[in-house]
Amino acid sequence: MHWGQIKTLLILSFLILDIYLFMQFLEKKEVADIGVIEHEPSTIEEQLNGESITIKELPDQEYEETYISLKQHLFTKDELKGLSNVPKQESFILNQNMVVSILDKAIALPSKKTDENMDDFLTSFAYYGEEYTFWERNEEKNVLVYFQNKLDRTIYYNDKGIILVFLNDDNEATHYIQTMLGEEETVAEKRKLITPMRAIETLYNANALFAGDEITRVNIGFHTRVPFESDVQVFVPIWKITVNEDHNYFVNAIEGFIFSTDEEEFFDEVTTTMMKRLDIQKGQNKKLEEILQDIEVRKGIR
């Protein structure tokens, strides 16, 4: 065989080898690309579906809200006397911003304890009762908790806008303690809120949702942005997300973080503050001392 022919064969052999190696490279690249595509981040809807986390219903409109600032309402005796739509009761104003009221006749709870019925129950005897929304019944202490509303939104977990209704062993309201927030002021321009699905995604990423959970309600409300000891409070819009009908999460609807709220801790702090106020005033009236003792018994102090 002549050298020229050998040279040609070698060139063809190397060319075939190069083509083969190139084809192998393309094949591997295609497999790698498919792998990348297959591992692209899935949407939150897909992630929820993959863990059988269901959503009952979501608000379908866009919301624009802003921070609001509220001062604590100062009560007066003349003001309370002018509220004629409440039954007879003996009321005491402590430090101008807390009302302690004892009903002349105990009022029985409604037989059907729907949220609407519980709201109507409060309205039937409490000052400005229509401005509050039923939150929960603390079974251990036998106390009903109501949060105040502003701008048609509930303000969650603020001790300056709350009513505690104390029940006797017959499930009757005997007395209540009330604080109230005054007129609102906006402190910034309105902004678009994060979507409810984005708030749910925040919970999912924080491992707050588990396989099989059902998101049963999503509502908008307000939450204390930063708690202040002063009378002025600043509130931020939040998404309240209820999971499995019984667990609530609160996601800042502007900044997107989760508020950490311990219901028992909040209740304990509120009642402790009320006890301190009552302790200061107990020497002025025997009934205030009796209410203080009642709270101490409910909290296991006595």
Taking only the tens place, the pLDDT of each residue in 22-40 is 455 445 445 444 444 444 5
The CATH classification number of 72-181 equals: 3.30.310.160
Q: How far is CA 268 from CA 14, 25, 81, 90, 295, in A?
A: 83, 68, 31, 25, 11
Q: Got the DSSP string for 193-212?
A: PPPHHHHHHHHHHTT---TT
Kindly report the pTM of this predicted structure: 0.84
User: pLDDT of 173-187, one tens digit each?
Assistant: 999 999 999 988 877
Tell me the domain boundaries of the chain: 45-65+187-261, 72-181
Query: Distance between CA 168 and CA 292 in Å, rounded?
Result: 15
Query: Distance between CA 263 and CA 228 in Å, rounded?
Result: 19
Q: Which two tokens stand for residue 218?
A: 């999503």
Average pLDDT, rounded, for the chain: 86
Q: Which two tokens stand for residue 56?
A: 């009952």
Query: Collapsing DSSP states into helix, strand and coil, what is residue 67?
Result: coil
Reported CATH class of domain 45-65+187-261: mainly beta
For position 6, what pLDDT does the model report? 58
pLDDT level of residue 85 (50, 70, 90 thresholds): confident
pLDDT score of 140 more than 50: yes
Mean pLDDT of 87-97: 94
Q: Which of 212, 171, 213, 179 is nearest to 93 (CA)?
A: 179
Question: What's the half-sphere exposure (Cβ side, CA atoms, 13 Å) at 84?
Answer: 1
